[in-house]
Chain A
Amino acid sequence: MINRIIQPHSLIITGLIFLFIWFLNLIRLNMHYIDPFNNGLKDYEITDIVYAYMEGQPLPAEETELPIVLVHTGDPDRAAIARLINRLGAAGAAAIGIDLFFDRLKEPKADSLLRQSLAQNPSVVLACELHGLSGDHEGFSSWVGVDAYFSEHAQLGYVNFPANRTKVIRLFSPWEPVAQDSIPAFATALLEAYRPNSTQALRRRGKAVESIHFARHAGDFVHHPQQRLLDSLSLDEVRQIVEGKIVLAGYVPMQGRGDPLKDRHYTPLNQSYGNKAIPDMYGLVIHANVITMVLNGQYINTLPKWLNWAILLVFCYLNVLLIHWIYDDFNEVFHGITRGLQIVEFILLFFLISFLFYKFRLDLDFGLGILALLLAYDIIMIYESLIRKRIPAIDRIPEEIPLKKRPTPIPEEEE
């Protein structure tokens, strides 16, 4: 049985496939500008389809708690923001996040009012930006975006997200070293202000970056324009809305209103996952999704790298074994069977990856597996018709590993 599973030629072909993938990867790194296919789908993952088209699984009642309120400030007026902070503080908001930069002093009266409101409400977190990446990429030299006049009286949280040139935001870094210190991300700072032990699990995971579980669009959060909280509702009514909750204030107009490009970013929820689309999510909503993920403990799980690689290798090897067997035993119909097999396997894999992500938030990194599946057919053809015939040393390798045969017992002759 073992000699049927472990076949030297199939092992060599598997090695060749991964060698070829490694070679393709080199091309991708150095020549991506002449690779429109790869460039167009540079930041595409199968799980994006789950986000964009299959999400919406009903949650049990106890998981639907939503302690987040979004407030649209419009074009921010510092005096109005000061009034908003005071009102939210008086109404008992547990944490107030202001996703606006106050990087310069502008008008003495409004600045003074804002500073005073910050001093009176210790649960306010202001947005800042990381600055000055160190040479060894191990930390930042400073933060910018908030004048010291305000930052003295508020907690700070950076609003940077890791993203490549496609600007698709799918990761979040909870803490970053800045100079000799470590400062939290905007969402992390708000969570710590809301419930100090709410970030314990996040710390225990110890990951430098976490994949964001995007569970909600802007319309799935409680949403108010700033003016309504300031003037249209009584303090008692505002209390009913914000008491004990996290309030996120920033630029987040209702759907179809406001500037569709201001502070909007690409996320996996974008239905046009091949890019060339309008950014789909306001920055404030991304922070809200991070907070929801941490509070509900709905992290995205990944397999350890070694296990992922082991699964990839086994998957690729079994495919090579199967296709090789078809090549040897059904040579006439080899093409048809192999192509059919690839399509069926691709659909099954797609289903399995989507299902694991949908049900268990398990992000299986199987891109290489699919590529290996596609390449297996061609590499076997090249190996059999070219390499094996031209290199006699390879051709002399036996088809199966010769195992020592057990001596078969000789039946005793009956007397």
Chain B
Amino acid sequence: MKKLIILAFAFCLVGSYHRLSAQEATVTVLYTSSVRGVTFSEEGGNEKRVFAGLTLPQEGQLRLTRGNTARLLYRNQTITLEGPALYTMTELRQRTKEATSEGFLSRFWSFVSNSIKDTDNAEQVERYHRRYLTNARAGISGFVGRESAISAPRYLTQAMDSPHLTFKWDSVAHPHGYHFTITKETAAEPVFSAVTKASELSLDLSELLLEPSAIYVWKVSARQADRSALESSMYYFSYEPDAEEYVAEIKEDDDFKQLSSQERQLYLLYRLEEGGLLHRAYRQYQELSADSSREAYLYRKLFVSFLARMDALEEAKSLVQ
């Protein structure tokens, strides 16, 4: 009996060692439809953009904005994701494990049973042709532009640190004004709704009781005389009043301290953009390019480039002029 207990204990020990030493498979990004619309964030961290070839950490969440797709590889299984959506890594791993639990026997059986079902010959197709009409088509889908009727600058997305914000969009025909809404990503009813004649709207986010770090969507539409509506895309953002801590962390970094004052500004701008604090970066650019010094000229050029990246081409053009 004693020997048996020792043997069982040793077996458990070996088993648990094997389990611990087994390397957890990594999640590799195989493809993203764009380099902007897919981001990853670890708990408490900022969102980083995701592109094919990256290996994602074990914990965190992956966000895809509307119209974006991504394909991941985990344990030799590909997972295709479509936006808009937010996925936790645990959920993705679980989903793949469920998909891979199918063994050879069940694969073989499903092949054989499908083969038995799919015995359609030419005569059957002729006799019951309507059943088979949807199996093939000779033609292609029509092409259509993906852009929305109303576009807005991209710096009004992702993390917003300032409560005072002016939402802007491109002007279109608006006989009944613009209908502007802010909705929590997971909710059906908007938390804020307004109708305005101007193509911008200033708001104090602190008065809207937005939950910090929760995802919100802002959208604008303009109803036309024929009752149709021109609409913008859905712009995702979060209200992050504590973002100053992130900036302070960057400034405390040893590498940052070793830089010259001008390099520090450039580095900070880069980190803000990378960290998803686009509006903060926008304000920083505005501030640095405001005066008429020689440095301001350089910042103005960088600001133009930033605005071009943010799809704010009209604003960039006005700055160049």
Interface, chain A (partner B; CB < 8 A):
49, 53-54, 56-64, 66, 69, 219-224, 228, 232-233, 237, 240-242, 254, 347, 351, 354-355, 358-359
**Contact flag A222-B30 (CB < 8 Å), given A58-B100, A240-B53:** yes
Which of A54, A59, A66, A233 sits near B35, CB closer than 8 Å?
A233
On whether the beta carbons of A66 and B31 are closer than 8 Å, the reply is no
On whether the beta carbons of B73 and A66 are closer than 8 Å, the reply is yes
Which of A61, A223, A232, A359 sits near B26, CB closer than 8 Å?
A61
Q: Does B120 contact A (CB under 8 A)?
A: no
Note all chain B residues with C-beta closer than 8 A to A241.
51-54
Complex Cα–Cα for A221 and B52 (A):
9
On whether the beta carbons of A222 and B76 are closer than 8 Å, the reply is no
Minimal beta-carbon separation of A258 from chain B (angstroms): 13
Q: A61-B75, A220-B78, A242-B53 are in contact. List 6 more A-B contacts (CB 8 A).
A: A54-B104, A64-B28, A64-B76, A222-B53, A224-B51, A354-B104
On whether the beta carbons of B71 and A228 are closer than 8 Å, the reply is no
Minimal beta-carbon separation of A341 from chain B (angstroms): 19
On whether the beta carbons of B51 and A237 are closer than 8 Å, the reply is yes
Chain B residues with a Cβ closer than 8 Å to the other chain, count: 26
Minimal beta-carbon separation of B70 from chain A (angstroms): 12
On whether the beta carbons of A58 and B30 are closer than 8 Å, the reply is no
Minimal beta-carbon separation of B281 from chain A (angstroms): 16
Which of A49, A58, A224 sits near B52, CB closer than 8 Å?
A224
On whether the beta carbons of B71 and A219 are closer than 8 Å, the reply is yes
On whether the beta carbons of B52 and A61 are closer than 8 Å, the reply is no
B13-56 interface with A by 8 A CB criterion: 22-26, 28-31, 35, 51-54
On whether the beta carbons of B111 and A58 are closer than 8 Å, the reply is no
Complex Cα–Cα for A66 and B27 (A):
11
Note all chain A residues with C-beta closer than 8 A to B71.
219
**Contact flag A219-B31 (CB < 8 Å), given A59-B76, A61-B22:** yes
On whether the beta carbons of B30 and A57 are closer than 8 Å, the reply is no
Complex Cα–Cα for A135 and B29 (A):
49
Q: Does B90 contact A (CB under 8 A)?
A: no
On whether the beta carbons of A53 and B30 are closer than 8 Å, the reply is no
Complex Cα–Cα for A241 and B76 (A):
19
Who on chain B is nearest to A53 by CB? B111
**Contact flag A57-B108 (CB < 8 Å), given A222-B52, A237-B51:** no
0 or 1 for each of B206-219: is its CB under 8 Å from A? (1 = yes): 00000000000000
Complex Cα–Cα for A222 and B76 (A):
13
Complex Cα–Cα for A120 and B100 (A):
45
Q: Does B224 contact A (CB under 8 A)?
A: no
Complex Cα–Cα for A96 and B78 (A):
25
Closest 10 CB pairs of A and B: A241-B53, A61-B25, A58-B100, A59-B76, A54-B107, A61-B23, A58-B75, A222-B53, A53-B111, A222-B52
**Contact flag A222-B25 (CB < 8 Å), given A69-B53, A241-B51:** no
Which of B25, B52, B53 sits near A64, CB closer than 8 Å?
B25
On whether the beta carbons of A254 and B54 are closer than 8 Å, the reply is no
On whether the beta carbons of B53 and A224 are closer than 8 Å, the reply is yes
What are 18 of the A-B contact pairs (CB < 8 Å)?
Answer: A54-B107, A56-B107, A58-B75, A58-B100, A59-B76, A61-B23, A64-B26, A64-B75, A220-B73, A221-B30, A224-B53, A233-B51, A237-B51, A241-B51, A241-B52, A241-B53, A354-B104, A359-B104
On whether the beta carbons of B104 and A219 are closer than 8 Å, the reply is no
Which of B24, B53, B54, B77 sits near A56, CB closer than 8 Å?
B77
On whether the beta carbons of B30 and A220 are closer than 8 Å, the reply is yes
Complex Cα–Cα for A116 and B51 (A):
30
Note all chain B residues with C-beta closer than 8 A to A54.
104, 107-108, 111
On whether the beta carbons of A222 and B35 are closer than 8 Å, the reply is no
Note all chain B residues with C-beta closer than 8 A to A240.
53-54
Note all chain B residues with C-beta closer than 8 A to A56.
76-77, 100, 107
B48-70 interface with A by 8 A CB criterion: 51-54
On whether the beta carbons of B29 and A222 are closer than 8 Å, the reply is yes
Who on chain B is nearest to A224 by CB? B52
Complex Cα–Cα for A233 and B54 (A):
13
Note all chain A residues with C-beta closer than 8 A to B52.
69, 222-224, 241
Complex Cα–Cα for A220 and B71 (A):
9
0 or 1 for each of B131-173: is its CB under 8 Å from A? (1 = yes): 0000000000000000000000000000000000000000000
Who on chain B is nearest to A220 by CB? B78
**Contact flag A228-B35 (CB < 8 Å), given A54-B107, A64-B25:** yes
Note all chain B residues with C-beta closer than 8 A to A57.
76, 104
Note all chain A residues with C-beta closer than 8 A to B53.
69, 222, 224, 240-242
On whether the beta carbons of B75 and A223 are closer than 8 Å, the reply is no
Who on chain B is nearest to A359 by CB? B104
B68-87 interface with A by 8 A CB criterion: 71, 73, 75-78
Minimal beta-carbon separation of A347 from chain B (angstroms): 8
Complex Cα–Cα for A222 and B28 (A):
8
On whether the beta carbons of B31 and A223 are closer than 8 Å, the reply is yes
Who on chain B is nearest to A347 by CB? B112
Note all chain B residues with C-beta closer than 8 A to A220.
30, 73, 78
Minimal beta-carbon separation of B124 from chain A (angstroms): 17
B180-235 interface with A by 8 A CB criterion: none
Minimal beta-carbon separation of B38 from chain A (angstroms): 13
Complex Cα–Cα for A63 and B23 (A):
11
Complex Cα–Cα for A61 and B77 (A):
12
Which of A58, A223, A347 sits near B76, CB closer than 8 Å?
A58
Minimal beta-carbon separation of B309 from chain A (angstroms): 10
On whether the beta carbons of B35 and A358 are closer than 8 Å, the reply is no
Note all chain A residues with C-beta closer than 8 A to B26.
61, 64
**Contact flag A254-B23 (CB < 8 Å), given A59-B76, A69-B53:** no
Complex Cα–Cα for A109 and B111 (A):
56
Minimal beta-carbon separation of A214 from chain B (angstroms): 14
Complex Cα–Cα for A298 and B135 (A):
37
Complex Cα–Cα for A40 and B53 (A):
41
On whether the beta carbons of B78 and A219 are closer than 8 Å, the reply is yes
Minimal beta-carbon separation of B105 from chain A (angstroms): 9
Note all chain B residues with C-beta closer than 8 A to A232.
35
Complex Cα–Cα for A296 and B77 (A):
17
Complex Cα–Cα for A232 and B108 (A):
45
On whether the beta carbons of B22 and A254 are closer than 8 Å, the reply is no
Complex Cα–Cα for A241 and B53 (A):
5
Minimal beta-carbon separation of A47 from chain B (angstroms): 13
Note all chain A residues with C-beta closer than 8 A to B111.
49, 53-54
Complex Cα–Cα for A241 and B23 (A):
22
Complex Cα–Cα for A224 and B53 (A):
9
Note all chain A residues with C-beta closer than 8 A to B108.
54, 351, 354-355
